[in-house]
Amino acid sequence: MSIYGIGTAGYPMAGYEPRKTERSNAGSSYTNQMSSVTQTSQMPGGAFELHISNDTDGEAISAACGSDYSMTVYQPNDFDPANPVYKVKVWDKEGNVTERMVDVSKVDPGSSDYIEMFAYTSHLSSSGEYSDAQSVFTRAAANQHGVDGIGYGDLFGKTDWFSVVRDAMQMQFDAKNLEGYLEYKRFLDFLEK
Q: Which carries the bigger pLDDT value, residue 46 or residue 112?
A: 112
**What is the band of 162 on the pLDDT scale with cuts at 50, 70, 90?**
very high
Do the Cβ atoms of 138 and 117 come closer than 8 Å? no
pLDDT reported for residue 88: 97
Mean pLDDT of 81-109: 95
Do the Cβ atoms of 126 and 85 come closer than 8 Å? no
Long-range contacts for 154-159 (Cβ within 8 Å, ≥24 apart)? Answer: 154/66, 154/114, 155/69, 155/71, 155/90, 155/113, 155/114, 155/115, 156/113, 156/114, 156/115, 157/113, 157/114, 158/111, 158/112, 158/113, 159/111, 159/112, 159/113, 159/114, 159/117
Nearest to 99 by CA among 135, 80, 74: 74
Do the Cβ atoms of 104 and 88 come closer than 8 Å? no
Task: Give the lowest-confidence range in 3-7, 25-29, 59-63.
Answer: 25-29
**What is the band of 17 on the pLDDT scale with cuts at 50, 70, 90?**
very low
Consecutive H or E run containing 89: strand 85-92
List the domain boundaries for the chain.
3-192
**What is the band of 147 on the pLDDT scale with cuts at 50, 70, 90?**
low
